[in-house]
Amino acid sequence: MKQQKCPHIWEMVNVASGLIVMKQCFHCGRVSTCFCFHDKLPLEPCHEGQHFWNFMEGDPTFHFDLRCVNCSTLIQFGELVGLMMCTGCDQRCEVDVVRRKLEPQGTRVCIVLGCRPIEERKDISEEKVAVLQEYFDQQAKSLKSRIKVVHHKLVRSVDNCYAQVLENADSLFKTALEGK
pLDDT of residue 87: 95
pLDDT of residue 176: 47
SS (H, E, C) 64-90: EEEEECCCCCEECCCCEEEEEECCCCC
In a domain? residue 20:
yes
In a domain? residue 65:
yes
In a domain? residue 109:
yes
Residue 100 has φ and ψ, to the nearest 5°, of -65, -35
pLDDT along the chain (180 residues), means of 10: 77 93 86 82 80 85 96 95 94 96 93 79 90 92 82 89 87 55
Q: What domain range includes position 38?
A: 15-178
pLDDT of residue 90: 95
In a domain? residue 9:
no
Structurally, the chain folds into a number of domains equal to 1
In a domain? residue 5:
no
149 and 99 in contact (C-beta within 8 Å)? no
In a domain? residue 67:
yes
With a threshold of 0.75, does the pTM exceed it? yes
pLDDT of residue 178: 55
Among 66, 103, 106, 94, which Cα is nearest to 153's? 94
In a domain? residue 130:
yes
The 3-state DSSP class for residue 15 equals strand
